[in-house]
């Protein structure tokens, strides 16, 4: 359902669709489906929706108050005309509101409302209070906000913030780690070729392609003189991966997911993983990859962007181009030397590096990005597209095997 929650005659952004499955209040609004529709419209539209004939009571009244506190006030305007926020200025008041929404709404909706509260009511500074952090519902967006604030946090808040971040990281690892290791282990096995494979290790597509000249039309078959098969990945390092991550403020969710994936890749013996973050400076966080929380607190979200400088650093660390995959995670809004960035990508590809650009690594949907730079990279044969965390293992597997990258159909740019 869509609509606007209003207060004092001012229309503001619509609250999230949170009403499905909530118990109906029977004090007004009629019975059955028609009454339930009126109830939902009243909760979505807010206090000005007297025409519904529905008067919230009990739990519905509490839900209505929580929605009004957030969506019943206009957000602070960039034109210098501020309206008062509905949650009050004190941390205890906000903490109580956070407790209310966690009581009345499901976790996915709570995360949306928290994000809206931080953006609409300028509550970032209150996250410096330990009481606030203990009341919030941890999610990727909250982690991004905490990372942008952590330099300003008092010592009493930092440990609480790290606990919040660690909980989110732990949940992401549970969701993503096992599948990533399984997918990439198989890719590393298949990337090793042998000319004397066992029967179940034969790569039939490559074997047929290599023996087409031995086709016997009278028998309708190929007599292979050379078998090509999958080898078995040794325990030594077979491939090198460089994750080059833009840490500008708009990339916060991508930074969180990248830190988790970086730690997972670093745990695989057959991979040598390097993680580099950049804005206008470049920081190598490879030594901290055993703990993604340390990686995240080693970043500094915000600032400018110098992709060319970051790629120059990554390029200097490549020792085996043909066995290296470079993943640039950036919205491509370059503040450095554009032509230099493109020349470096072209040089790495010419040397044999597999180069992939992710415009975002998140569940956010279509990202904002520099279309001109994305098209230029695509023209170089370096695919540029947005990627969800669930799709990332398949992208990495294809890059390690040096086969066509599985670009989503909704991707904005193709190679």
pLDDT digits (tens, 9 = 90+) for 1-28: 444 454 433 444 556 655 544 444 444 4
pLDDT in the model for residue 386: 93
Place of tokens 């997918």: 183
DSSP string, 119-163: HHTT-GGGGGSHHHHHHS---HHHHHHHHHHGGG--HHHHHHHHH
Q: What is the pLDDT of residue 88?
A: 54
Q: Which residues of the chain have pLDDT under 50?
A: 1-4, 6-12, 20-30, 77-85, 233-235, 414-415
Residues 33 and 47: beta-carbon distance below 8 Å: no
Residue 232, helix vs strand vs coil: coil
Which pLDDT does position 85 carry in this prediction?
45
Give whole-number Cα distances, 318 to 29, 241, 245, 328, in Å. Answer: 68, 9, 16, 14
Q: What is the CB-side half-sphere exposure of residue 144 using CA atoms within 13 A?
A: 22
Nearest alpha carbon to residue 43 among 31, 83, 115, 28: 28
Here the tokens at position 219 are 């028998």
| pLDDT value of position 115 | 80
Pair 325, 395: CB distance under 8 Å? no
Residue 278 DSSP one-character state:
E
Integer Cα distance of 120 and 311 in angstroms: 36
Closest CA to 413 of 364, 338, 358: 358
Helices (H), 138-248: 140-149, 155-191, 204-210
> Cα angle vertex 177, ends 367, 396, to 5°?
55
Q: Checking DSSP bridges between strand 10-11 and strand 354-361, what pairing results, if any?
A: unpaired
CA distance 71 to 82: 15
pLDDT at 265: 93
202: which DSSP letter?
B
Neighbours of 358 (CB within 10 A): 26
Q: What is the pLDDT of residue 70?
A: 77
Task: Please tell me the distance from the alpha carbon of residue 71 to that of residue 85, in angstroms, as a whole number.
Answer: 10
- What confidence tens digit (pLDDT) does each residue in 198-222 have? 666 677 777 888 888 888 888 888 8
What's the CA gap between 399 and 117, in Å, rounded? 40
Structure tokens at 331: 């919205």
Task: Find the length of the chain.
Answer: 415
**Which residues, 6+ apart, have CB-to-CB distance to 203 below 8 Å?**
190, 193, 197, 228, 229, 230
Q: Would you say 112 and 142 are in contact if contact means Cβ atoms under 8 Å apart? A: no
């Amino acid at each position: 359902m869509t609509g606007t929650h209003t207060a004092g005659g001012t229309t503001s952004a619509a609250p999230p669709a949170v009403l499905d499955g909530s118990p109906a209040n029977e004090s007004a609004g009629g019975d059955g489906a028609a009454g339930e529709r009126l109830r939902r419209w009243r909760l979505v539209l807010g206090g000005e929706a007297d025409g519904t004939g529905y008067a919230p009571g009990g739990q519905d009244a509490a839900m209505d108050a929580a929605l009004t506190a957030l969506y019943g006030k206009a957000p602070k305007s960039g034109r210098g005309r501020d309206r008062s926020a509905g949650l009050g200025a004190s941390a205890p008041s906000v903490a109580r509101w956070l407790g209310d929404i966690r009581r009345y709404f499901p976790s996915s909706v709570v995360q949306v409302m928290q994000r809206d509260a931080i953006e609409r009511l300028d509550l970032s500074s209150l996250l410096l209070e330990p009481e606030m952090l203990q009341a919030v519902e941890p999610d990727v967006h909250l982690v991004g906000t905490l990372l942008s604030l952590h330099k300003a946090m008092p010592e009493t808040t930092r440990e609480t913030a790290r606990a919040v971040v660690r909980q989110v990281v732990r949940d992401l690892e549970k969701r993503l780690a096992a599948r990533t290791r399984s997918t990439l282990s198989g890719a590393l096995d298949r990337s090793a070729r042998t000319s004397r494979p066992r029967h179940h290790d034969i790569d039939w597509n490559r074997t047929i392609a290599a023996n087409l000249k031995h086709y016997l039309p009278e028998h309708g078959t190929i007599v292979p003189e050379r078998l090509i098969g999958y080898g078995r990945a040794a325990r030594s390092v077979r491939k090198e991966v460089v994750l080059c991550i833009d840490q500008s403020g708009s990339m916060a969710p991508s930074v969180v997911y990248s830190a988790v994936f970086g730690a997972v890749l670093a745990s695989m013996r057959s991979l040598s993983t390097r993680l580099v973050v950049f804005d206008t400076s470049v920081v190598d966080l490879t030594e901290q990859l055993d703990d993604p929380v340390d990686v995240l607190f080693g970043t500094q979200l915000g600032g400018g962007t110098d992709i060319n400088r970051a790629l120059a650093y990554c390029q200097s660390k490549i020792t085996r181009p043909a066995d290296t995959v470079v993943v640039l995670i950036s919205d491509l809004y370059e503040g450095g030397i554009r032509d230099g960035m493109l020349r470096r990508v072209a040089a790495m590809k010419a040397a044999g590096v597999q180069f992939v650009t992710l415009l975002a690594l998140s569940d956010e949907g279509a990202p904002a990005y520099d279309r001109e730079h994305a098209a230029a990279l695509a023209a170089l044969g370096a695919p540029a597209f947005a990627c969800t965390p669930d799709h990332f293992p398949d992208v990495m597997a294809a890059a390690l095997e040096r086969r066509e990258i599985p670009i989503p159909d909704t991707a904005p740019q193709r190679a």
